[in-house]
């Protein structure tokens, strides 16, 4: 079954998904790197699901498997075995191009290092996902301005990253991630390079987008005070889920 990757998030935000139909369902997923005696199992049979509109924190020490899992959820990698279902579609059976379309149309990404283009203005950085979609120039500029306004950066459109503070750069990165109205936002240590005050501001922004736009947020973090903003937490250890505050224990 292939995902409806031609349907854009603007047309369907996913709020109409049935309560018993999780947007993400991970079933017995393993990931092994290398072969033979050099084989290393990063994931050893992981099961969890995430409802549309949830805010989930993914935690665990280095080497626990959480980053590998996030790469799979972001369609940057595929399982060695098991299934990753996105809206019921088996992502592992999609082609590379189909996974790229899924990323483009349904996912947004926020990184610890911001990943902004240094010589490009805030507005142009936010426009990038819309350029990849082929959005007409006037429309994409208006949408990018609105995204910057939504993160509190009206008037900063022409500033380059070097002219912005770390907190402002992360706001630009969030604006870039939400400008396409993704169904799922994957945030990898989004406050890792920020002080405590800026970290709280960023978490409050993510909470607003989760509650008011219905964006499902999956956030990797090492910080328990940041994880507390999430509705539940999933803890990885040695390639398995050590414990997770599942909304219900039975798999859908």
DSSP string, 36-51: GGG-EEEEEEEEEEE-
Q: What are 165's strand-pairing partners?
A: none
Which domain, by its residues, includes 29? 24-244
**Residue 70 within any structural domain of the chain:** yes
**Residue 18 within any structural domain of the chain:** no
Q: Around Cβ 87, how many Cβ atoms within 10 Å? A: 21
Contact 148, 122 (CB under 8 A): yes
Q: Which portions of the chain are predicted below pLDDT 70?
A: 1-20, 244-252
Residue 49 CA to residue 27 CA, distance in Å, equals: 8
pLDDT at 10: 36
**Residue 17 within any structural domain of the chain:** no
pLDDT at 88: 93
Q: Which tokens go with 141?
A: 């500029």
- Cα 101 to the center of its chain, rounded Å: 15
Give the residue among 108, 100, 48, 53 at the shortest CA–CA distance from 78: 100
**Residue 6 within any structural domain of the chain:** no
Give the count of domains, the chain: 1
pLDDT at 36: 87
pLDDT at 243: 79
DSSP state at residue 31: E
**Residue 42 within any structural domain of the chain:** yes
pLDDT at 21: 76
């Amino acid at each position: 079954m292939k995902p409806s990757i031609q349907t854009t998030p603007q047309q369907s935000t996913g709020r109409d998904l049935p309560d018993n139909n999780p947007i993400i369902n991970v079933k017995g997923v393993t990931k092994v790197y290398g072969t033979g005696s050099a084989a290393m199992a990063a994931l050893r049979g992981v099961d969890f699901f995430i409802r549309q509109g949830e805010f989930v924190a993914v935690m665990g020490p280095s080497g626990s498997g959480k980053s590998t899992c996030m790469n799979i959820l972001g369609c940057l990698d595929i399982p060695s075995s098991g299934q990753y279902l996105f809206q019921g579609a088996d992502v592992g059976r999609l082609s590379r191009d189909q996974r790229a379309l899924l990323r483009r149309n349904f996912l947004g990404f926020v990184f610890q290092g911001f990943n902004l283009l240094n010589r490009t203005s805030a507005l142009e950085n936010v426009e990038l996902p819309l350029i990849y979609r082929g959005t007409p120039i006037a429309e994409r500029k208006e949408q990018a301005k609105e995204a910057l306004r939504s993160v509190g950066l009206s008037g900063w459109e022409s500033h380059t990253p070097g002219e912005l503070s770390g907190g402002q750069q992360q706001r630009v990165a969030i604006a870039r991630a939400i400008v396409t109205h993704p169904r799922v936002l994957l945030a990898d240590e989004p406050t890792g390079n920020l002080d405590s005050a800026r970290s709280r501001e960023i978490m409050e922004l993510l909470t607003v987008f989760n509650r008011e736009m219905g964006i499902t947020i999956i956030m990797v973090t090492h910080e328990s005070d940041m994880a507390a903003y999430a509705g539940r937490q999933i803890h990885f250890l040695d390639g398995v889920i050590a414990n997770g505050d599942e909304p219900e224990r039975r798999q859908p």
